[in-house]
Amino acid sequence: MISQNSISQVFETARVEEVIGDFVQLKKAGSNFKGLSPFSEERTPSFMVSPVKQIWKDFSTGKGGNAITFLMEHEHFTYPEAIRYLAKKYNIEIEETERTDEEKEQANAKESLYLVSEYANEYFQKVLQKTDQGQAIGKSYFKERGFTEDTIKKFQLGYSLDEWQAFTDDALGKGYKLEFLEKTGLTIVKDERRFDRFKGRVMFPIHSMSGRVLGFGGRILTNDKKAAKYLNSPESDIYHKSNVLYGLYFAKQTIAKEDNCFLVEGYTDVIQFYQTGVKNVVSSSGTALTSQQIRLINRLTNNITVLFDGDAAGIRASIRGIDLILEQGMNVKVCTFPDGEDPDSFAKSNTLEELTEYLNENAKDFIQFKASLLVKEANNDPIKKAETIRDIVNSIAKIPDAIKREIYVRECASIMDISESVLFTTLAQIGKKEAQEANKQYKQEQRAFEVVKSEQQKKPRVDVQYELERKIIEILMLYGDRVEQFEDLILKEDEASGDLILEPAMHEARVFEKIYLDLQEDEMMFSNEKFRELYYAIIDRLNQDENFSTKDFINQLDQKHATEVTSILMEDEKYNLHDWHRNNIVPKEKEHAIAQLVSQTILSLRCYLIDQKVAEYKNETLRENVDTRSVMEDVKDYLGLKMLLSRKLGKVIGG
């Protein structure tokens, strides 16, 4: 268990913009930050972070909360794991008791997979550093690659003993279940036999974006032709190869800072680059690049530089991944190394200055690179040249931005010595064909829907009471402890005419006191249970704490209520997503008219509830044995009150 003192220290220290900035590229938007949603596929930012309120909101999915809830949503952390992660990030020592066997037993299945993977990572590192076999074989291999001791520890490299079940026996002896050892792929079970998957291999742990161990890559060091050179953990509930980039955990901050990501092929390429000083580098770990991996990079930068070794066949096979990057609307450059060199060997034999200079001078725009590569293959053959041009135009067609497409068409025309009009025509044909296919798909879907016609849905009616109750929660959270001058319009009888009139009377009060007393006076209750619970919790907190803090209050709420409050507080931040100020559209600032806003909201709620009451009375007149005359008198009284309140509301709105 983590002590409350440690939890409080984490909450006080953690900054939501810093925590989320490790996972999403955030750009300033007024007093807030915005970025691409990490929870959905999008090209237009709908993700907002408020440093002032210390909360975030994803308008594409409706999710929101504080730094803790972000980690729980994005990284699937449990609450204690999120606290530990933040404690580590901010160098906070946390007080906690060690997990007991009973606590390990109670951990859920997914959590158990993480626990097993974390244990395995520690075990393999210990074997590398503390055993004769680890030193003689594993450590020697890493030293031959040129890795320093600091680098080995940084990337948590390890070694698995060349014994059939050394790791499995050790894990079972420590209380870890065979079920989870098998599910992570660390142990292979066949009938009654069990043995280590990574027997006799140097180990590369694969981390999530937050540093959790998801799986492993293991390289064999013997010349066994029957065994694969590299072996990865199999797919599991925590490890999905297509969603992971090796090295991203170590590279993410530099990628965002440098606004560029170098993409290489293997584990050692990443480590060697990092050790040399180029830290914004990741790898797809030998698998074909996927759109999910590209989106991971896109959260941090819009620029990718793909690095290839001098192997032409390998380049031709890997270049297909560039089209996937273009489809995401990203900027792509390509850099190749001299024959016989790969990113690992080149970084090892050059200084940081030499490596940086080479990358800057040799990184080509993808269109230049692809054109030069394909022209060589065409070898003056007209038919092959035509195929080459169509291949390049197909890549250009993947780019969603029309301006970029046009620029690339002109560049291609210059390189390939062909008229721009022909390329634009070809591009249009490709677009038309894709549009026809999309239209065909759409029509098929429409026909499927027409098989069973559903009744046309009516537009949902606005729930006025829900919106007004929600507004009251927002006002209390933002301005509850503010002192304001309120103008109350008192109902009085005119001495001359005898009519009821509204006479202004000013008084000073804290906002939450004004709201509470007005609602009490009219015996108004919240109809929404969640808002009712929040209302009393906020009023209670404001009564007890003169220094009310929105951040502290949200941090103490359960996830259900915290998400609701976050959603309410971030509603107005939608305006910042669309840069309305740039278009001379200035949303009204509530801070300049808080008293007016409070009175308007309370009066609107009172008017609405009167309407509801009148509707109830009218329904009463339809029943048998009801004194209609008495009911209509009550209706008349309510309508008279409604008229006066409407006049009062009109004065408030009109100022």
Q: Is 162 exposed, middle or buried (0-12, 13-18, 19+ CB in 10 A)?
A: middle
State how far the Cα of 39 lies from the Cα of 323, in Å rounded to an integer: 23
State how far the Cα of 597 lies from the Cα of 610, in Å rounded to an integer: 20
Q: In 3D, which of 46, 229, 237 has the Cα closest to residue 141?
A: 229
State how far the Cα of 145 lies from the Cα of 163, in Å rounded to an integer: 24
Chain segment 472-527, per-residue pLDDT in tens: 998 888 888 888 888 766 666 767 776 666 677 787 888 888 888 888 776 677 88
Chain segment 300-338, per-residue pLDDT in tens: 999 999 998 766 555 665 677 788 898 888 999 999 898
**pLDDT score, position 637:** 59
Query: What residues form DSSP beta bridges with 28?
Result: 33
Q: How far is CA 434 from the centre of its chain?
A: 31
Residue 432 has pLDDT above 60, yes or no: yes
Q: In 3D, which of 467, 459, 396, 458 has the Cα closest to residue 426?
A: 396
Residue with tokens 């704490």, as numbered in its chain: 545
**pLDDT score, position 200:** 95
Residue 222 has pLDDT above 80, yes or no: yes
The average confidence (pLDDT) of the chain is: 82
What is the chain's Cα-based Rg? 33
**pLDDT score, position 586:** 43
Q: In 3D, which of 394, 372, 390 has the Cα closest to residue 382?
A: 390
Q: What CATH number should be reported for the domain whose range is 4-89? A: 3.90.580.10
- Per the CB < 8 A criterion, the answer to whether 270 and 247 are in contact is yes
> 153: Cβ–Cβ under 8 A, 6 or more apart, which residues?
125
Give this prediction's pTM. Answer: 0.71
Q: How far is CA 556 from the centre of its chain?
A: 23
552-556, 588-592, 626-630: which range is least confident on average? 588-592
Q: Which of 17-21, 25-29, 574-578 has the highest mean pLDDT?
A: 17-21
Could you tell me the fold of the domain covering 101-239?
DNA primase DNAg catalytic core, N-terminal domain (3.90.980)
Chain segment 633-649, per-residue pLDDT in tens: 656 655 665 666 666 55
What 3-state class would DSSP assign to 569? helix
206-210, 216-220, 416-420, 610-614: which range is least confident on average? 610-614
94-103, 115-124, 458-467, 625-634: which range is least confident on average? 625-634
Ordered alpha helix ranges (H), 329-487: 343-348, 352-362, 366-378, 382-397, 402-416, 420-451, 464-479
Chain segment 338-384, per-residue pLDDT in tens: 888 899 999 999 999 999 999 999 998 888 887 777 777 776 778 88
The mean pLDDT of 21-35, rounded to a whole number, is 88
Could you tell me the fold of the domain covering 241-362?
Dna Topoisomerase Vi A Subunit; Chain: A, domain 2 (3.40.1360)
Q: In 3D, which of 420, 423, 418, 322 has the Cα closest to residue 373?
A: 322
- Per the CB < 8 A criterion, the answer to whether 14 and 86 are in contact is yes
Residue 592 has pLDDT above 80, yes or no: no
**pLDDT score, position 440:** 61
Other C-beta atoms lying within 10 Å of the C-beta of residue 546: 8
> 521: Cβ–Cβ under 8 A, 6 or more apart, which residues?
none
State how far the Cα of 471 lies from the Cα of 467, in Å rounded to an integer: 6
